[in-house]
Structure 1
Amino acid sequence: MTTVMVGLENLVYADLTENGKEFSYGEVKPFAPACAAKVDTATDSTPVYADNGPIIVISSTGETKVTIETTEIPQDVLAHITGQKIVDGVIVWRQDAIPPYIALGFTGTKDDGNVRHVWLTKGRFSIPSIDWKTKEEKPEAQKESIEGTFVQRSDKVFKITGDSSVQGYEKYRNTFFDEVFDISKLDSSSTVTTSKTTTTKTSTSGGAA
């Protein structure tokens, strides 16, 4: 049975600290109300030719571009993720500010009630763009959009996803966002990927995070 994403919620973040190959995360905090999220990971595939034809493909994965649309980013969150300082509600924007590395998490909801949980493990956000428009007889909501670039952390992991339609995920569903998911919890010997929504042994639920 095929399912589709129908919603987005629970946009959160956590500070990342890296020291060589070691890393740790801070407390998971709310980011902003989620209206839309676009996640685009750059990939490149180059065929190698021999004997008058392609024989192998060399592939690589690059950075992940994220665009978040929201009603409003709280000013304390905005100041923090852009490396600025806020004092008594005032942000003095500096061009030499250095944004911190953070992890970004969110939940995609499916039409069958299942969810897709996502963590992007390491990235920085730029200053958001805001549309300003005068108020007319029929008010029009004006949203904020912010872009970020995410990369792999020191252990080469750039994204972690969990899907409640897959057997075995139940034990992680309610705690996935208590912290940035610790992959050491996973049993490397487990290979069970059967979808709870399938009606045959070979069908899988579609949709990429």
Structure 2
Amino acid sequence: MTKHSGQVGLEHLVYAILHEDGITYDPPKLLSPAIEAKITPKTNSETQYADDKPVETATTLGEIDVELQTQDVPLQSQSDLLGHAIDEKGVLVENGKDNAPYVAVGFKSKKGDNSYRYVWLLKGKFQEIEEDYKTKEDKVSFATPTLKGTFVTRDDDNWKFTADENNGMDSDVKDKWFDKVYEPNIDTTPLTATTTPEKGATGVAAGSSVSFVFNKAVNQYTVNDSSVFLLKADGTSVDSTIVISTDAKTVSLTPKNALEAGNYVAIATKAIKSDNGATLANNIAIDFTV
């Protein structure tokens, strides 16, 4: 029998108020036992036509509709999520000028294989809660509130973090998922490179290779004869073999034939990226003389 790993549960629903800096939060608070969460991203697509046919499509993320069905929404949570006040006697005061703050929402969901998926939605506002009161009947009928909100991308363009505990999720991250809104550990160091020969070198041997040594591993799929190449002084391309080192930090151009005496320029472009998407600040061009 096939074992499916779809979502079969929802637990530990929390929220955290986003600060005015647009990136930091208050400590998370538990909302209420959760029943259902529905997340509906909206996308906007535009297609460019040329020569009577579509030639390019661009898609951008729009608003994200979120619906949370819970067992209850305590008054303190309503105050936090909707911008209402609670007076000194414990009464929730709802004013027409109240402004709901931006918040993050986190939860975990059990999958069919009994592992958990962990989620943070990063920036959204909730609407006033629809309430349904009715008299007691012969049979039990539970009234469960639904929180409806609109989420958007945060100032850094992130809108959601998701991790599966059985698919590479760090155990420390899992243990602390609800302690604070998760922030990814992404290396933002820009891509840089040193070269052999150095820029302006003279007397370079005719059988030499040209090497770009990067400060971090590059994505091999971004390295090709359009992103790194060797030219004669007149702009003529020199037929070369591209070799990437085993650690993916060195990219070498080896001419297929010995270089003739003269001036050359080797170029590595900003199309080359690291594994995490870092690029060169500018194209690198080194001139040398054989």
The aligned counterpart of 1:114 is 115
The aligned counterpart of 2:5 is 3
Against the structure 1 CA distance between its residues 174 and 64, is the aligned structure 2 distance closer, same or farther, given a 3 Å change threshold?
Answer: same
Moved over 3 A (4+): 168-171, 186-190
- 1:151-204 Cα shifts (integer Å, max 9, x gaps): 111111111111113124434222122110011x246889xxxxxxxxxxxxxx
Q: TM-score, normalised by structure 2?
A: 0.61
Spell out the pairing of 1:1-209 with structure 2 (5 A cutoff): 2-19=4-21, 23-87=23-87, 88-183=89-184, 185-186=185-186
* Gapped regions of structure 2 (runs ≥ 5): 189-215, 218-290
- 1:118-172 Cα shifts (integer Å, max 9, x gaps): 1111111111012222111111111111111111111111111111131244342
Q: Which has the higher contact order (CA 8 A, sep 6+)?
A: 1
8 Å contact 2:4–2:113 — kept in the other structure?
Answer: no
When the two structures are aligned, how many residues end up with a matched partner? Answer: 187
Against the structure 1 CA distance between its residues 54 and 100, is the aligned structure 2 distance closer, same or farther, given a 3 Å change threshold?
Answer: same
- 1:84-143 Cα shifts (integer Å, max 9, x gaps): 101222112101001111111111110101111111111111110122221111111111
SS of the aligned residue for 2:178 comes to: coil
Against the structure 1 CA distance between its residues 100 and 57, is the aligned structure 2 distance closer, same or farther, given a 3 Å change threshold?
Answer: same
Identity %: 35
Structural RMSD (CA) = 1.9
Distance 1:187 1:171 in 2: 19
> Greater shift after overlay, 1-10 or 102-111?
1-10
Distance 1:31 1:38 in 2: 16
Distance 2:187 2:138 in 1: 59
* Gapped regions of structure 1 (runs ≥ 5): 191-209
What is the Cα deviation at residue 18 of structure 1?
A: 2.8
SS of the aligned residue for 2:105 comes to: strand
What is the Cα deviation at residue 52 of structure 1?
A: 2.2
SS of the aligned residue for 2:94 comes to: coil
2:54 partner letter: P
Q: TM-score, normalised by structure 1?
A: 0.83
Against the structure 1 CA distance between its residues 36 and 58, is the aligned structure 2 distance closer, same or farther, given a 3 Å change threshold?
Answer: same
8 Å contact 1:130–1:144 — kept in the other structure?
Answer: yes
Distance 1:51 1:114 in 2: 51
